[in-house]
Amino acid sequence: MIRLESSGSCEEARQNILGISWNENESPYPDYGNKNKFNGTNYNDWLRNLRIVLNFENQGYVLDKPLPAILPEGSSLEERLTFEKWHEDNRKVRSIILASMTNEIQKQYDRLEDVPSIMLRMKDVYAVPERHIRYAATKALFGTKMTEGSFVHSHGSRYFPSWKSSRTLKLGLIMTRT
């Protein structure tokens, strides 16, 4: 849970959480920085961070659900408002996605108008399947061997990060004490 101090505003808190810095003297647009920018090799981490940001902004649905193309004739006011909000959120999320990429990758996706098509193409090109991540984690875990003459503490400091990642990936391994 995020708590705001009485001296800070909601906008300041959002900027702190998202890692966006605003420089009022230079540009009215946020600087997303290079720390979490998508560079072609960090798709899974970038997508996780993107989902965190969009869920905070209540716009995460735009990533997964297809954009409604047309509004049916005789639609109610509520349906029209939902349609307009969806298109507005699509525009905002598309801008956030493009701003969080390197320039070379931006050029590949800047002509696509709807977010689901951008995400589908990016997934096809850059996504690392979960099974590959799980395999790498188990390989690191089971490949950790204590060298002769070394201390148990130094072995444990190498072993436990692998164990922790295996728990995060839900590999189903159970550690017992004998």
Same domain, 122 and 136: no
13: which residues sit within 8 A by CB, 6+ positions away? 2, 4
Question: Exposed, middle or buried: residue 40 (CB in 10 Å: 0-12, 13-18, 19+)?
Answer: middle
Is residue 173 included in any domain, yes or no? no
Residue 67 domain boundaries: 10-126
80: which residues sit within 8 A by CB, 6+ positions away? 71
pTM of the model: 0.59
Question: Residue 13 is encoded by which pair of tokens?
Answer: 């808190």
Is residue 175 included in any domain, yes or no? no
Q: For the chain, what is the domain count?
A: 2
Same domain, 74 and 90: yes
Residues 75-104 have pLDDT tens digits of 899 999 999 999 999 999 999 999 999 999
Same domain, 137 and 119: no
**CB count, 10 Å around CB of 5?**
8
d(CA 37, CA 43): 10
- At 25 the pLDDT is 46
Contact 55, 14 (CB under 8 A): no
Question: Is 145 a residue whose pLDDT tops 90?
Answer: no
pLDDT band at 144 (very low <50, low <70, confident <90, very high): confident
